[in-house]
Amino acid sequence: MHAHLQALSTPIIQALSPADPRPRGFDIEVPLGAGAVVEARVDTYSDRLRCDHPQVADGQDLGEALKLSAEEADRGRIVVLAPAELASGLERADFEREALIPGFYEGEQDCAVLGYTLDQERAESGFAAEVARVDALIQQGPQRPARRRPAVETERATPEDAEHIAELIAETFTQYPTPSGVPGYIEGAIEEGVPFRVVREDDELIACASADLIRGAKTAELTDCATRPSCRGRGLMQAILTDLMGDLRDLGYPTAFTLARARVPGVNLAFQRLGFGYRGRMTRSCRIGGGLEDMNVWSRRLAS
């Protein structure tokens, strides 16, 4: 079946738990004319079409082609992460620049995050009051000096840790954009070289996070952050993220970024305290927590 026809017959998935192994979407080729194509992903989970790091010359042509594909796929939103020089062309195609990540590509070239809304409900925050409260906290800045790295021992996870990592993520999130509550999924990622770090206490895994490598750009997304409720407030995640950034430096990665739920203060303030800069917001972009949520974009350079 042609990818676009397949998309038409694919319903929007309302919610999947991290432990649900079903795929969250599928890849398609978007025709650009003259036989050229660009890869994109029909995200059935978050009801969007996503195009990451397209290598094209004309942003406007790309934008128009993505709009046609999103309409055929009956998706409510388009998200594009692209080299910054494509942003002006995409804006001429009525895309809105939502964020700019400095040095995303090998520490030298910026990445623009752009969105286009087909479903007008996706144009406005679904949790405006909560997001506004977090914005006010971010504007104030950290209310205490950044703490030194807590005296917490973290470990680089091995495939044998996959079951316990998956269990912790499944207990932490009711909805998740990847099947990170499936042990085989985590095991495969670790075997492929994705850095995961964990903290144990009395032989129990109590906190974890990962650095999802974007190898072509030499940057990574810090994600899969989970801490057992009884162990929160002890600086465990700060230690894990600090050590993950060290892992990325060892790999020669000059930048890291994260996408944080815009209505949750703790995660945003944690990354701010770790020296990440706020780069913008993806409006109602990802299904996580309580539904389709705004995601704040944070990044930092990883200089020693």
pLDDT of residue 143: 64
pLDDT of residue 60: 98
Nearest Cα to Cα of residue 85 among 69, 97, 70: 97
Q: What is the pLDDT of residues 70-89, one digit of tens each?
A: 999 999 999 999 999 999 99
Going by CATH, does the domain composed of 3-123 fall within 3.40.630.30?
yes
Which residues of the chain are modeled with pLDDT < 70?
Answer: 1-14, 143-147, 304
pTM above 0.95, yes or no: no
pLDDT of residue 2: 40
Average pLDDT in the chain: 93
pLDDT of residue 11: 65
Please give the CATH superfamily to which domain 128-301 belongs.
Answer: Gcn5-related N-acetyltransferase (GNAT) (3.40.630.30)
pLDDT of residue 291: 85
Are 3-123 and 128-301 the same fold in CATH?
Answer: yes
Every domain of the chain and the residues it spans: 3-123, 128-301
